[in-house]
Structure 1
């Protein structure tokens, strides 16, 4: 492999053409960068294109430079350096590397190479530019040579590549080891987080048939508030007023929605309305909530060790949280038997607690909650379980990711009690779809159903009054 060819993007145009006679690979580069007649689709089994081949070679050479630097840099000081310090440390070494290999590079190209190398040493290598791009919401690594992103609700393929599966595995190991977790053949699935709170899920062989996969859900550096969701047209201002009163009035809330619908974002925004005088305990599989209060205690589950022992599940954390004098308990996502303990907490003096749950409708959310309570193995009849749910839950906030990629609060429903053996609910506000415009965007409007929630009298005790017009069905919610 030619090292000169591997750094194609750092060559000046005249340097490429001058060396082409001596280096066949550079001749190939010059041809690849020249205008070419349009070709038909590549047949199966055809040779890999020059651009893809050189892209892989560039990645390989960047990793080779990384290893060269690791041999020369004092590793004992590496963890104490920030990005700027490392740049100054490796700049003369990179110049030496480039000079010894006769790589003609401008000062700007050299700076770009140093930045790439710094990302490899201190950051997450090829993923660093994507992590720094605030317009990207999700990073989806399907394989070492295929990376997608989600921007503005739409998926896009990038030209980011790793050298090979081993290179990708090193990055995955770097992520999970930072939070005390592991991923290997015996434990091929893992949830983790980045230092900024972004959520990471990784799957490796043997469950990932085509090689390691990574999904990163990035979080905004600017904390989400209900006001910001209103300005982003994810909800109406009338909904904001209602939810603000519910949170401040210590109503227990479940945020329901499908995968990628914005449940955690909504939970973060709701929590922004909690008083800073309250003690909050958060419980999560991988800590990702961004609560803005000072008095927050965060608990995180722990996976089992290699011998299958010492696992700490959400249920144990919830039981322990009750001994920590919480004012409210916030669970990132209820998945299993911890639902029973959560309802017990809500029914015994911890009103105003919140959680998220995977469900497509408010009614489905209640059904899933019943099923998860049954997993606790408690000797309870179905009607007893439903009575527990009806007495503990006040509001169900349903969020949805629409087919155009936008995320909306589509329903706010109040749980009003039991009638016979059925939990009763009433929808207070909703988003009604009206169609699709020429650009493929979903058209719709936020409405009030005309029903006033029963808890209004209770929140009035906190001095919270809501304007009558937000419940008027003849008016469009602003």
Structure 2
């Protein structure tokens, strides 16, 4: 009889130590294939089986496989292996522990062997990995299939969301040269409040009070900033100051907003698909929303021709609407709106476009992620109309917390 050489771990938390052991990863992948084969022979399927019953079946299968291969694991290691195999069968495999970790905000997969997570604003590598590209692609297909999306060589990129609301982006070869790329922005089940942002020093109490009163006073607000700077988080926080009796309509590419009001209509865009389903753009939805008697419209992100309809709505009776936009400063945000309008058929002279924008947008809020990973509101500006050929912006707050500083 072959002598079994036990694989032992160090002391401490078993789950965390096992999860980062390369040796354990190798054992898990070996046992996983054999366990699946055994379960298949026994007629056990993951779907429709209660979790406890599935765990029992996996435990029996693992015991058989470990015995046949001469691998010895202690009780803690076996418990972790059962959980990992269950994640492979009914979850998202190696991603499951990262998605359950409350400290992880983003999960970034750069090919099967390289995974990063963002904790407290900083990216750090983890030793969790996929077995190979096929393993990673299987998990990707498990993510996108339930939401009616497909990713293959003909459609090498896709946006979507997990059942819990987390936002997902996938890019695969031949567009991604080094293997499939998967990015997940985790959905926060307990939305942050304005007080949370003040406590974390993402904004000052005076900023919050000013913006809360602006929302209550139905000012049109544009939130600008770079990727991952906290635009959607701030939009979600500001929406909490909208009155409970108002009818709100949200338009997003991937639903993330968590509005607390009772009368909310949530709309989501749809990309065109290979099976012939027609694309539904934010502009299409905005045109329909205007017929739905909304009190306010909240647009997750302005990125294309919907800028025209958004500004028209803001300027014609839908005061208190809000949107986000990628831009590096308040003035840049207004100039980006000019560009989007010009690119999509709003044919008039530049001064007319600027008057159109300055009449629709009342406040521009700029968010940024600092070098230490912290997200902050760095500027709050009022749009005070035009001063000659340029926008007149009055900066109410800046990152140095100096109030009422006027800028031209």
**Fold shared, TM-score > 0.5 on shorter chain:** yes
Larger Rg: 1
Q: 1:409 aligns with which of 377, 383, 408?
A: 377
Deviations 1:144-189 (A, max 9, x none): 0111111122221111110110110111111112222111111111
C-alpha distance 83-416 of structure 1, shift in aligned 2 (>3 A):
farther
In the TM superposition, what are the counterparts of 1:2-401 in structure 2 within 5 Å? 8=7, 55-56=25-26, 58-70=28-40, 72=42, 74-75=44-45, 78-81=46-49, 83-306=51-274, 310-401=278-369
Structure-2 change in CA distance of 1:309 and 1:220 (3 Å)? closer
CA contact (8 A) 1:283 1:331 kept: yes
Distance 1:196 1:313 in 2: 23
Q: Secondary structure at the match of 1:306?
A: coil
> Given that residues 7 and 73 in structure 2 are in contact (C-alpha distance below 8 angstroms), is that contact kept between their aligned partners in structure 1?
no
> CA separation in 2, counterparts of 1:335 and 1:67?
48
Which structure 1 residue ranges, 5 or more long, are not aligned?
A: 13-50, 433-445, 452-478
TM-score computed with the length of structure 1 as normaliser = 0.77
Label 1:95 to 1:56 Cα distance change in 2 as closer, same or farther (>3 A).
closer
* 3-state DSSP of counterpart to 2:148: coil
Equivalent residues of 1:315, 1:341 under 8 A apart: yes
Note the aligned Cα RMSD (angstroms). Answer: 2.4
> Once the two structures are superposed, what CA deviation does each residue of 1:254-278 show, in whole Å capped at 9, x if it has no partner?
1100111111111111111112222
Q: Which has the higher contact order (CA 8 A, sep 6+)?
A: 2
Hey, what's the Cα distance between the residues in 1 that align with 2:283 and 2:37? Answer: 44
Residue in 2 aligned with 1:448?
403
Per the alignment, in what secondary structure is the counterpart of residue 178 of structure 1?
helix
Q: TM-score, normalised by structure 2?
A: 0.90
CA contact (8 A) 2:35 2:58 kept: no
Q: Residues 28 and 81 of structure 2 are in contact (CA less than 8 Å); yes or no, is this contact kept in structure 1? A: no
Q: Which stretch shifts more, 181-190 or 305-314?
A: 305-314
Change in CA separation of 1:248 and 1:114 when aligned onto 2, cut-off 3 Å = same
Q: Could you say what secondary structure the match of 2:71 adopts? A: coil
- In structure 1, the residue matched to 2:15 is none
Distance 2:165 2:213 in 1: 28
Does the 8 A contact of 1:56 with 1:161 survive in 2?
no
